[in-house]
Amino acid sequence: MSTLTDLRIAAVGDIHLGEDVRGQYRQRLAGIEDRADVFMLAGDLTRHGTLEEGRLVADELRGLPIPVVAVLGNHDYHSDLQYEIAAELRDAGVVVLDDEGVVIQCGDRKLGVVGGKGFGGGFAGKCASEFGEREIKNFVSHTRYIAEAWKVALKEIVADERVVLSHYSPIKETLEGEPHEIYPFLGSYLLAEAVDTAGADLILHGHAHKGSEKGMTPGGIRVRNVAMPVLGKAYAVYCLTCDPGCA
Amino acid sequence: MEAPQYVAARVQQALAEDGRTHELGIRVDIRGDQLFLRGQVSGAQQRLRLGEVAHETAPDLHVHNEIKVVEAHEPGEDEHLD
Ligand SMILES: [Fe+2]
Ligand SMILES: [Fe+2]
């Protein structure tokens, strides 16, 4: 049952919009303000990361009646235009997180959102480490840098609830359905470790189109894979019930 | 004759790297002279382009395009996390 103190988060990832589907996704967002207080997008908004696609996504999201927070995904980086795409989205009123946090006022409650694209590397016991060739070290240190930035942002943010928004997965459970051989390219346990250390109420990610929706970090934080092919719908809605004493 | 595994791998790389598609996570299987594409994409044109790129990469094979187009259905039930 929905209560007044529920904070309702609509979320989706991997909408992968292109010119041939212009306008279609926006239709599915009709009435979102009645279902949710905030809309979050977990990256891979485009197919090839071109500026044209970035503008198309911005058009689809422009002027929604609730706050929109997004991170980019690997597809949005493909043409090396990630900053330009983020600028188009910001112009359309979307908050784009790049390893930082934002506080969204939802009624009388403050929702803290921390996130960014994230990156891969694999999961505890079966992961790459900062050893050997420069290329491998760069790969792993990129994820470490991101995890550290999220940890700091989560610790610093002042909010009633904290949600982490990522493209890559922090855990293996929500990858179930994907081939095991590609897990290291789908996420990293370093992201979960950072969030478990700093604390959060929910982690949202995408990227694993064939994965599963629900999982949990080793520290017990709920994780949801909101990739649209996984959800099979325009977005999911998660209700965070207010902690006693915060209202 | 080239082993079908290498042909399938080359087709999969083409689907990921070709500027028309850039689609990761499409499964490519070859049985004899039949090539099967499976996976999910966000639009009908993308599905067609994937079939084209697969055909161009392996012109001697008969392409069966079994890729599904993801429908963005109406959002259903909320989930309460408490
Ligand atoms: Fe994706
Ligand atoms: Fe992705």
With 90 as the cut, is the pLDDT of residue A52 above it?
A: yes
Residue A47 to residue B23, Cβ atoms within 8 A: yes
The complex's ipTM? Answer: 0.80
Q: What's the pLDDT tens digit per position in A14-31?
A: 999 999 899 999 999 999
Residue A213 CA to residue B38 CA, distance in Å, equals 21
Quote the Cα angle for A8-A10-A13, to 5°: 150
Looking up tokens 């949600």, which residue turns up? A163
pTM: 0.91
Q: What's the pLDDT tens digit per position in A143-184?
A: 999 999 999 999 999 999 999 999 999 999 999 999 999 999
Nearest CB to B72; choose among A233, A237, A238: A233
Residue A229 to residue B23, Cβ atoms within 8 A: no
Residues of B at the A interface, defined by Cβ within 8 angstroms:
19, 22-23, 25, 39-46, 70-76, 78-82
> Best residue in A2, A19, A20, A29 to probe B by mutation, most B CBs within 10 Å?
A20
Domain boundary assignment for chain A: 6-241
What CATH code would you report for A6-241?
3.60.21.10
Residue A201 CA to residue A214 CA, distance in Å, equals 14
What does the block give as tokens for A150?
């999220």
Ligand with smallest separation from the Cα of A45: 1
- Fold for the domain defined by B4-69: Histidine-containing Protein; Chain: A; (3.30.1340)
H or E element, residue A208: none
What pLDDT score does A3 carry? Answer: 47
Residue A80 CA to residue A110 CA, distance in Å, equals 34
Q: What's the pLDDT tens digit per position in A212-231?
A: 999 999 999 999 999 999 99
Distance set, CA B17 to CA A47, A119, B14, B25 (Å): 12, 20, 5, 12
Nearest CB to B82; choose among A21, A233, A241: A241
